């Protein structure tokens, strides 16, 4: 990669998240230039971008230094493995793979190849996370409740892979909250109990409740993740501070209130921040393969009480 | 703890595994002396051992320096936390807790208290593991197949907690094979796919098949874990070596065959070896909180195809 030249990047999987977030974020980035998109069926691509039917054809053309893998999570591991083997840097949409151990294997491969692997937990880059982290570190935290409710059909009409094995179900959205927790909490969080609501024919939950804990607090931490929610979506986390105050994160991390007072009302800047971080990682020859949000999800799956709905 | 004096140990949970394995292994150990057993309902105890109705009562009596927690896994975390807070060293039967993150929290607590935490994956101490490890390191491995089949009703008649959330189902036995893999394989192993067979009313599988992989091999590694097996139990792992040879571990790690030739035909020495290791850990002020077998199980739960049977 030549210094000063933008990094040539390709997108693998031209679905909703690529269209709405990755393509605009790359277009607004000085560090990256979108040169290619790989998708198994033809899609419209921006001017100057070449469409390929597969990652192999994209790699063969020799016009990318990096790829963003935006497919369903079940096939991310294999595609990332192919990309790393071809000497590319890799950004993985969240969740980064099906399992923690797949991510760890990719990190091993990236390190061996001297390439950057970035598990892009975009919600960790929401505007509220860093201010929340500072307040929680200073004032302590005694309780926490996540409410992550949305209407699946509104955001993902007709999409079926969420319900297939490895598709995560409501955790595909809910890991966003878990990633905010990992990014903001002064202590580790872990899962003590879970109830999953699973529809007939589905392998993953449509909704879930979690009992969480930290090393300092055996209970008082919980989450409701619900993809079967009629009406307006709610993506909020409320902390009770150590001194009895209240910290509220809303709209997935755009709004932060402390003791009822507005601290922050930011726009959606997650994906541009993701690409700045990816550029820094590549420049510094590092990886960022965070697994903790996925670990919490895996732990919940492994001890869940299953209710058929 | 006085040098030269045996470590006073208590058992929490006086079920089958305590009776058949822990009590005899402690009795045969020079390093430990069994002084107490805690169990919610009265049980027969060996001469000189005091029975308590709870871990709290046991701790209150001040006659133990260490505990072995042999309860169902769902309550191990809370009991271990109590024991560590009371300044005791802790051995955890396998699986060490419900989740990877619970084990990590216990390890953090043990480190902060200067106490030893030992996640006692007994199958890692079976006679075949170390010789298998040496052969696999030297000759390489290109494929592996686990067959872990037994009749649940024969070994655990009437026990229900295996089917409850966190009870692991067939993985309660199957993690033994996974722990042997972790102890013997020259590379990490990870889960690529899983099918779980779950009975009506159960939250955990009665049987499971796993597709596994290593960084060097994308497939050719698999497992069948079956608790619904009529007839003789099979606890075996077969490796195809890098040079085409065959290594076979049988009877859960007591027998090892290389290219059909018997290398090892050992007795059951796992639990005595566990207690020797626990003693060494305490002497050296260290912990051994291995989570990888449980991680593989959690990863399998998180991506499983569920079939109702």
Smallest Cβ–Cβ distance between B99 and the set A77, A190, A215 belongs to A190
Chain B residues within an 8 Å CB radius of A303 = 74, 98-99, 165-166
pLDDT exceeds cutoff 90 at A167: yes
Token pair belonging to B223? 């497992």
CATH 3.40.50.720, chain A: domain bounds: 7-119
The residues that bridge with A226 in the sheet, in sequence order, are A149, A207
* Interface check A154 vs B, CB under 8 A: no
Chain B residues within an 8 Å CB radius of A306 = 165, 198, 203
Which residues of A are identified as catalytic? 94
* Interface check B101 vs A, CB under 8 A: yes
Chain B residues within an 8 Å CB radius of A166 = 193, 302-303
pLDDT tens per residue, range B186-220: 999 999 999 999 999 999 999 999 999 999 998 89
Q: What percent of chain A has pLDDT over 70?
A: 99
- Distance from B75 to chain A by nearest Cα, in Å? 10
What is the per-residue pLDDT for B139?
A: 97
3-class DSSP state of A119: strand
Chain A residues within an 8 Å CB radius of B109 = 215
Find which of B303, B305, B307 to mutate to test the A interface (most A CBs within 10 Å of its CB): B303
Smallest Cβ–Cβ distance between B109 and the set A101, A165, A215 belongs to A215
Contact A192 B102 (CB under 8 A): yes
CA distance A260 to A273: 27
Instruction: Say what the pTM is.
Output: 0.95
CATH 3.30.360.10, chain B: domain bounds: 124-266+298-308
Token pair belonging to A247? 């910290």
pLDDT exceeds cutoff 90 at A4: no
* Complex prediction ipTM: 0.94
* Interface check A165 vs B, CB under 8 A: yes
Contact B299 A298 (CB under 8 A): yes
CA distance B122 to A236: 44
Contact A102 B165 (CB under 8 A): no
- Distance from A189 to chain B by nearest Cα, in Å? 8
Fold of A7-119: Rossmann fold (3.40.50)
Cβ-Cβ contacts under 8 Å between A and B: the total is 118
Chain A residues within an 8 Å CB radius of B289 = none
* Interface check A208 vs B, CB under 8 A: no
* Interface check A299 vs B, CB under 8 A: yes
* Interface check B296 vs A, CB under 8 A: yes
Residues 35-74 in A contacting B (C-alpha not used; CB under 8 Å): 74
Smallest Cβ–Cβ distance between A215 and the set B105, B166, B304 belongs to B105
Contact A305 B105 (CB under 8 A): no
Distances (CA, A) of B129 to A91, A304, B132, B250, B293: 38, 32, 5, 11, 15
What is the per-residue pLDDT for A218?
A: 86
pLDDT tens per residue, range A20-50: 999 999 999 999 999 999 999 999 999 999 9
Chain B residues within an 8 Å CB radius of A194 = 165
What is the per-residue pLDDT for A2?
A: 45
What is the per-residue pLDDT for B3?
A: 59
Cα B157–B162–B163 angle (5° rounding)?
Answer: 105
| H runs (alpha helix) in chain A | 16-17, 23-27, 55-61, 76-85, 100-113, 129-139, 152-155, 171-184, 270-283, 292-303
Smallest Cβ–Cβ distance between A298 and the set B166, B189, B302 belongs to B302
Smallest Cβ–Cβ distance between B215 and the set A74, A105, A298 belongs to A105
Q: Which helix (H) or strand (E) holds B78?
A: helix B76-85
Of the CATH numbers 3.90.1150.200, 3.40.50.300, 3.30.70.1070, 3.30.360.10, which one belongs to the domain with range B124-266+298-308?
Answer: 3.30.360.10
Token pair belonging to B124? 């890692």
Tens digit of each residue's pLDDT, chain B (309 residues): 445 799 999 999 999 999 999 999 999 999 999 999 999 999 999 999 999 999 999 999 999 999 999 999 999 999 999 999 999 999 999 999 999 999 999 999 999 999 999 999 999 999 999 999 999 999 999 999 999 999 999 999 989 999 999 999 999 999 999 999 999 999 999 999 999 999 999 999 999 999 999 999 988 999 999 999 999 999 999 999 999 999 999 999 999 999 999 999 998 889 999 999 999 999 999 999 999 999 999 999 999 999 999
pLDDT exceeds cutoff 90 at A268: no
Torsion of CA B166, B169, B173, B175, to 10 degrees: -50
pLDDT exceeds cutoff 50 at A1: no
Contact B299 A104 (CB under 8 A): no
Q: For residue B192, give the DSSP letter.
A: E
Mean of all residue pLDDT scores within chain A: 96
Tally of CB atoms within 10 A around A285: 9
What is the per-residue pLDDT for B2?
A: 45
Selecting among B2, B19, B94, B154, the annotated active-site residue is: B94
Query: Which residue bears the tokens 């005694």?
Result: A142
CA distance B84 to B107: 10
What is the per-residue pLDDT for B144?
A: 98
Contact B302 A99 (CB under 8 A): yes
More confident residue, B24 or A3: B24
Tally of CB atoms within 10 A around B43: 12
Residues 245-264 in A contacting B (C-alpha not used; CB under 8 Å): none
β-strand pairing of B89-92 with B66-69: parallel
* Interface check A296 vs B, CB under 8 A: yes
Smallest Cβ–Cβ distance between A188 and the set B98, B104, B203 belongs to B104
Which of B133-157 are b and which e, b meaning 16 or more Cβ less than 10 Å from the residue's Cβ?
eebbeebbbbebebbbbbbbeeebe
What is the per-residue pLDDT for A267?
A: 84
- Distance from A305 to chain B by nearest Cα, in Å? 5
Token pair belonging to B204? 């955990």
* Interface check B193 vs A, CB under 8 A: yes
CA distance A126 to B270: 50
Using CA coordinates, name the residue in chain A closest to B102. Answer: A190
φ, ψ of residue B5 to 5 degrees: the values are -85, 140
β-strand pairing of B190-198 with B141-149: unpaired
């Amino acid at each position: 990669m030549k210094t000063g030249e933008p990094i040539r990047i390709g997108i693998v999987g031209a679905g909703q998240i690529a269209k709405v977030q990755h393509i605009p974020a790359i277009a607004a980035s000085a560090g990256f230039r979108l040169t290619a998109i790989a998708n198994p069926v033809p899609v419209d691509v921006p001017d100057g971008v070449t469409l390929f039917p597969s990652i192999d054809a994209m790699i063969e053309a020799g016009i990318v230094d990096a790829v963003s893998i935006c497919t369903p999570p079940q096939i991310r591991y294999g595609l990332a493995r192919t990309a790393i083997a071809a000497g590319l840097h890799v950004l993985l949409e969240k969740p980064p793979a099906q399992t923690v151990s797949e991510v760890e294997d990719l990190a091993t491969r990236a390190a061996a190849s001297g390439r950057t692997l970035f598990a892009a937990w975009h919600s960790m880059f929401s505007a509220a996370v860093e201010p929340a982290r500072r307040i929680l570190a200073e004032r302590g935290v005694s309780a926490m409740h996540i409410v992550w409710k949305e209407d699946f059909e509104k955001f993902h009409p007709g999409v079926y892979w969420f319900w297939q094995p490895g598709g995560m179900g409501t955790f595909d959205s809910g890991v966003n909250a878990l990633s905010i927790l990992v990014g903001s909490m002064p202590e580790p969080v872990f899962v003590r109990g879970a109830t999953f609501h699973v529809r007939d024919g589905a392998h993953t939950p449509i909704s879930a409740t979690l009992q969480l804990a930290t090393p300092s607090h055996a209970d008082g931490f919980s989450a409701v993740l619900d993809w079967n929610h009629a009406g307006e979506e709610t993506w909020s986390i409320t902390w009770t501070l150590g001194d009895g105050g209240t910290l509220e994160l809303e709209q997935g991390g755009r709004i932060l209130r402390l003791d009822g007072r507005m601290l922050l009302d930011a726009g959606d800047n997650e994906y541009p921040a993701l690409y700045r971080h990816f550029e820094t990682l590549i420049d510094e020859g590092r990886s960022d393969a965070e697994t903790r949000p996925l670990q919490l999800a895996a732990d919940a799956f492994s001890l869940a009480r299953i209710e058929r709905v």
